[in-house]
Amino acid sequence: MAQSALLNVMITAAMKAGRILARDFGEVQNLQVSMKGPADFVSAADRRAEETVYRELSRARPDWGFLMEERGAVEGRDPQHRWIVDPLDGTTNFLHGLPIFAVSIALERDGEIVAGVIFNPAMDELFTAEKGGGAFMNDRRIRVAARQRMPEALFGTGVPFLGKGDHPGFLYELRQIMGESAGIRRYGAAALDLAYVASGRLDGFWERALQPWDVAAGAILVREAGGFLTGIEGEPFDHIRGDVVCGNEFMHKALVTELGKATAKRKAARSPAS
C-alpha cells in the first residue's frame, strides 16, 4: 500500500512508542505479586510512551500543536494542524497484564480528522487510514463486516466504571442490545474497538462520553473501511464530544434505533404514573 510521508511519520512514532510499551508490558506480571503493585510502573510507562510520540512528531512537524491525554492541549504555531494522541489506550488492561492496549495517533486538519494510526504492540497489529485512501491492517485492506441481521451481529461497547458515567442509563442500553444481538463485548480500549469495527471483527460499537484521543484515529478507520459513524442519536459525529455509534450502514441504523428505544424506556420508567 502507498503511504504518504505524514502517515509514515505517524507510523514511526506509534511503533517506537509501542516498542517501549511492549518492553514494559513484559514486566507487569512480575509486579502483580509485589506489595506496591504495578500502578506506578504503568503510569511511568504511559508517560514514556507519550514523550516518545511527542518527540517524534515534533521533530517531523515542529509547528504543529497537540492534544494529548497526559499533556493536554499544546498550542502550535500552525493553527490548521494538530496531533491527537493517546499513548496508552487500555491502561487498565495493561495494568492487569491483558494484551488489549494500543498507541493511538490522529491528525486533525482544520477540525477534521484526516489520518489515523492505531498500533497494538502485544499483537503486532497496525491499523492505518488516510482520508480517501482506505483503511488497512498490517498493509492488508480492511472493510467493515457485511452482516445485516442483528441476531447474527456481535457488538462492542464501553461499560461505565466506578464513579464515572450514567450507570442506570447504560443498563437500559445493555438490556436492549442484548435482547437483539448475538453478543456484546467490552474490551476496554475504545481505539481498538473502532479498529475492530473497521476490520469486521465487530459488527458495531457504541459508547458515550469518550475523549477525543479515544476516538479520533478510530473514527477515520471506520469511515475509510466503509462504515458509518454518528453520535448516539444519529447526529453528526464530533470527535471532541466523543459520543459514538458505528457499523456498516444497516448495523449503524439498527444500533441508533435500539439505543433510542432504550432511552425511551428509561424516560417512561422515570415518569410519574398518570
Does residue 203 have a known ligand-binding role? no
Does residue 86 have a known ligand-binding role? yes
Q: CB of 214 within 8 A of CB of 192?
A: no
User: Within 10 A of 88 (CB to CB), how many other CB atoms are there?
Assistant: 29
Does residue 89 have a known ligand-binding role? yes
Does residue 78 have a known ligand-binding role? no
Does residue 154 have a known ligand-binding role? no
Query: Long-range contacts: 166-172, Cβ < 8 Å, 24+?
Result: 166/208, 168/266, 169/262, 169/263, 169/266, 170/208, 172/262, 172/263, 172/265, 172/266
Residue ranges at the known binding site for Mg(2+): 69, 86, 88-89, 214
Residue ranges at the known binding site: 69, 86, 88-89, 214
